[in-house]
């Protein structure tokens, strides 16, 4: 896949099934070879421009770049807020593109990553543009699933929690569908997966079940991908408490399942996965974080034509 050289990474849709397999192969090689990565991007500079906080995504990219031997410059959070006031995003991006060889951008406005990418001559990686995309998250999720379950083909996957606003689960559902999944969407009715996504999946032959019953869906699945339900989505606090309480994975929940299952979560979590299950063999959410570094190492190396 020399095809990534010099390219932007803006949208999950830009990757075919074959592309995804190629990226995962490079990530896997980096994971195994360890020190072989040390000088791959020596002398290159990555700039992180985060116009809203995202500690784990920023740190993950910065670790990936440095593990490849490259350097990092970062717009601080205070600075990005002041920059945001006085200067257009494209001017900031065009300036930073004079200092850095690749830009990682998070910005609250949907479409902002594309806008920045169109303005500059260096590759831009979208690390979240509001309700839009966060393509490297979907890739690291897929990489984790393959490692945990051994394959990506025809999996039974339960996506649970806030399916309405969750950028992560939207992208994951789309990408999973490339590999022929059986999907269970578990959420309270007010936080259901957007109709256009569900309809799109079904039109491509993916069987989807929507339900409020986590236990039942989980008992039919290989994997639960859990997400946080945010208090601020609810006007009625009693309703929030009731809903939140119904989506909690703890030891009791796992014992009711009567089989092994893989647990993933984009983190941070609040109450939806109890820390008492952190030691459970299927709890993959911290390993998922680690996989993000390998996926980002792969993407960075490929963007520079080094893999």
How near is the Cβ of 243 to a second copy at its closest, in Å? 19
CB of 16 to a second copy, least distance (A): 28
What CA dihedral angle connects 290, 294, 297 and 298, to 10 degrees? -150
Q: How far apart are CA 149 and CA 67, in angstroms?
A: 27
Q: Which is nearer to a second copy, 206 or 297 (CB)?
A: 297
CB of 268 to a second copy, least distance (A): 4
Residue 96 CB, shortest distance to a second copy, in Å, is 7
Distances from the Cα of 114 to the Cα of 7, 93, 122, 169, angstroms: 12, 11, 13, 21
DSSP secondary structure letter of residue 281? T
Nearest approach, Cβ of residue 91 and a second copy (Å): 6
DSSP sequence for 219-259: HT-SEEEE-PPPGGG-S-HHHHHHHHHHS-B-HHHHHHH-S
Helices of type H across the chain: 17-33, 55-67, 77-86, 89-99, 112-119, 135-149, 167-177, 195-203, 214-219, 237-246, 251-257, 285-303
Nearer to a second copy, 103 or 152 (CB): 103
Please give the residue ranges that form the binding site for a second copy (CB under 8 A): 35, 37-38, 42-43, 45, 47, 53, 55-56, 59-60, 62-63, 66-67, 69, 71-73, 75-79, 82-83, 86-88, 90-92, 94-100, 267-270, 275, 278, 286-287, 289-290, 292-293
Complex with a second copy: residue 39 or 110, whichever CB lies closer: 39
Nearer CB in complex with a second copy: 42/202 = 42
As a residue count, the chain comes to 307
| CB closer to a second copy out of 94 and 246 | 94
What distance in Å separates the CA atoms of residue 149 and residue 136, rounded to the nearest whole number?
Answer: 20
> From the CB of 70, what's the least distance to a second copy, in Å?
8
78 versus 281: smaller Cβ distance to a second copy = 78
């Amino acid at each position: 896949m020399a095809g990534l050289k010099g390219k932007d990474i803006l949208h999950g849709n830009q990757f075919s099934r074959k592309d995804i397999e190629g990226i995962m192969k490079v990530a896997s090689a980096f994971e195994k070879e360890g020190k072989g990565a040390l000088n791959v991007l020596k002398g290159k500079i990555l700039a992180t421009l985060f116009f809203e906080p995202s500690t784990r995504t920023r740190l993950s990219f910065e670790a990936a770049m440095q593990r490849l031997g490259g350097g990092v410059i970062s717009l601080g959070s205070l600075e990005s807020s002041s920059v945001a006031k006085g200067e257009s995003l494209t001017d900031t991006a065009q300036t930073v593109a004079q200092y850095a060889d690749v830009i990682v951008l998070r910005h609250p406005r949907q479409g902002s990553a594309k806008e920045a990418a169109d303005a500059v001559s260096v590759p831009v990686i979208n690390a979240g543009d509001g309700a839009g995309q966060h393509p490297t998250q979907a890739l690291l999720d897929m990489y984790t699933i393959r490692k945990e379950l051994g394959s990506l083909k025809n999996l039974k996957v339960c996506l649970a929690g806030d399916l309405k606003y969750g950028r992560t689960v939207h992208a994951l559902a789309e990408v999973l569908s490339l590999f022929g999944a059986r999907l269970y969407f578990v959420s309270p009715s007010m936080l259901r997966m957007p109709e256009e996504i569900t309809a799109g999946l079904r039109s491509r032959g993916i069987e989807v079940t929507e339900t409020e019953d986590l236990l039942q869906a989980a008992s039919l699945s290989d994997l639960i991908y859990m997400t946080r339900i945010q208090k601020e989505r609810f006007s009625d606090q009693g309703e929030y408490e009731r809903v939140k309480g119904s989506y909690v994975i703890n030891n009791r929940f796992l014992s009711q399942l009567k089989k092994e299952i893989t647990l993933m979560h984009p983190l941070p979590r609040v109450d939806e996965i109890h820390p008492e299950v952190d030691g459970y063999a299927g709890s993959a959410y911290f390993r998922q974080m680690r996989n993000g570094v390998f996926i980002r190492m792969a993407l960075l190396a490929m963007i520079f034509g080094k893999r």
